[in-house]
Chains A and B, each alone.
Chain A
Amino acid sequence: MRVTLDLFSGRPNPTWTLSGRQARELRGRMAGSPPLVQAARTGPTAEPSRLGFRGFVVHEDEPGELLPSPVPRAAPAAARVAAPDLLAIRAEGAEEAATAVSDEVDTAEWLIATAPEAVVGGMVDELAGELRDLRSASGAAVRTARTTREAPEDGSEAGARGRDRDLDDVTGGEACRPYLLPMNLAFWNTPGIQPYNNCYNYATNFVSGTLAQPGRRSGWIYRAFQCSEVLEAARRDGLELTCDGGVRVVALGIWPGFDFHWWRLHPDGFWAHKIGWWPAQNRDNSFRIIGNGLTPANCDRGPYREFCGYYFAPLSMWVL
């Protein structure tokens, strides 16, 4: 297993190899803190976000070396550790993320200690300062965590069911308490939010600013545009197949081989969605309002012709 300190923009970044014992310890640290793993092949950011310290990249030598995968992987993966922009996003995700951020900074400090003196000599104090700043900045972000959704999660229930027999079937259980926020498209269609959040963000009511992808948060993104793959990736992020407790009701459609799309249920059987960076809206591809009997299952979905079903996002679910 190799580690790269992502620091320079011109000269090559410092890289070193972990011993077997060190690799085992790193694997243990990562297994205990899943959000810490961000598969580099999924592109954690489209481009380097800043000059200077950008975290560590841990490269597998063999597939599965870093984290055991439930599905066979052909190519070795890599994970980013303590990337400042990703940490900031995670810190905004939920209050419990404070612990994960702290664990990740701990791991980064441990990684510095594994570097040979000849590789990072002279930079150790500076890196320690970067990580201290990161820990305190992330802590501040955690304190403002509740601003990243449309409305405070007070647990109140709007109580409306969708006017769709299949949907009524899946939300009809006694334990099912759909949490249906009134539609608030204006929240999503502001310059600071709209261009950076997509259908998955809208469905889960979570502003990550990353055009969120199913499974990216947990490190195992979908591998194909099929219902089963995208659903499995979303389940790793916390999505549920059955309605139990307070949940958002969402729907998934697939453009076979090309893309996925999500919708979210609002009161009185109305649905809304967000197409990529475009404004959130409540109409189908024939510009009809999705409600009054029109649902994601029977509306005009354009090329997203495969309807996967209705699913449930716990109120605490967050995405990346």
Chain B
Amino acid sequence: MSVVELEVFAGRPNPRFTLAPAGSRHLLELLGRLSEPATPFRPRLGYQGLAVYARGADGRWRPWLHVGGGRVTVRYGPRAGVYRDTIDLEGWLLDEADRAGLGPVLDQVLPGRRRQAR
């Protein structure tokens, strides 16, 4: 199971949903298809993508993957690899968010997203 956060707010807690084990496996398969390096993602105020969290050895949840702005950032401890999102991982995660019940939130903070959804 993976916890995914819709990265949209700066102050209040962001909405979250969980990926079922099958979804988590699919996510890892998709990550294996990324190969083109990209420049680092630069956060801004407002919607900036989705983050996938994992629980660390100390029991606290930390983001290890960020998808947004056409980039996929994978963290390996203190280092990170950045790839171009050539497989529309962001679109897939947004669809998963929709299926998990975050559709009304997406409609409000990402007006027009439905036109882009596959």
| A binding-site residues for B, Cβ under 8 Å | 43, 46, 49-50, 191, 195-196, 198-200, 211, 213-214, 225, 255, 258-262, 273-279, 281, 283, 285, 287, 301-304
Contacts and interface: CB of A to CB of B under 8 A. Distances in A.
8 closest Cβ contacts across the A-B interface? Answer: A302-B45, A302-B46, A278-B43, A260-B11, A259-B9, A275-B10, A261-B10, A303-B46
A301 B63 CA distance: 24
A195 B63 contact: yes
Given A191-B62, A276-B7, 17 more contacts: A50-B59, A191-B78, A198-B11, A200-B11, A213-B13, A214-B11, A225-B12, A255-B9, A261-B10, A262-B11, A273-B10, A278-B43, A285-B46, A302-B45, A303-B46, A304-B45, A304-B46
B62 to A, nearest CB: 5
A261 B44 CA distance: 12
B43 A259 contact: no
A90 B2 CA distance: 30
Contact of B10 (A196, A214, A287, A304): A304
Nearest to A196: B60
Nearest to A257: B108
**Interface size class of chain B, counting residues whose CB lies under 8 Å from the partner chain:** 20 to 34
A257 to B, nearest CB: 8
B14 interface: yes
A287 B41 CA distance: 12
Contacts of B61: 46, 195
A261 B11 contact: yes
B33 interface: no
Interface in B31-52: 42-46, 48, 51
B87 interface: no
A277 B45 CA distance: 12
Contacts of A301: 45
Interface of B: 7-14, 42-46, 48, 51, 59-63, 78, 108-109
Contacts of A261: 10-11, 45
Contacts, number: 75
B13 A285 contact: no
A277 B8 CA distance: 11
Nearest to B45: A302
A303 B45 contact: yes
Contacts of A200: 11
Contact of B44 (A49, A191, A258, A302): A302
B12 A275 contact: no
A260 B63 contact: no
A166 B12 CA distance: 27
Contact of A275 (B45, B59, B60): B45
Contacts of A214: 11
Q: Point out which of B11, B12, B62 has the most chain A C-beta atoms below 10 A from its C-beta.
A: B11
A301 B8 CA distance: 13
Contacts of B78: 191
A200 B11 CA distance: 7
A225 B13 CA distance: 13
Q: Point out which of A46, A260, A277, A301 has the most chain B C-beta atoms below 10 A from its C-beta.
A: A277
Contacts of B10: 198-199, 259-261, 273-276, 304
Contacts of B63: 195, 277
Contacts of A50: 59
Given A191-B78, A258-B108, A259-B9, A275 B43 contact: yes
Contacts of B14: 276
Given A191-B78, A277-B63, A259 B44 contact: no
B58 to A, nearest CB: 9
A269 B7 CA distance: 29
B60 A260 contact: no
Contacts of A279: 43
A58 to B, nearest CB: 24
Q: Point out which of B10, B13, B61 has the most chain A C-beta atoms below 10 A from its C-beta.
A: B10
Nearest to B58: A192
A285 B14 CA distance: 19
A198 B7 CA distance: 13
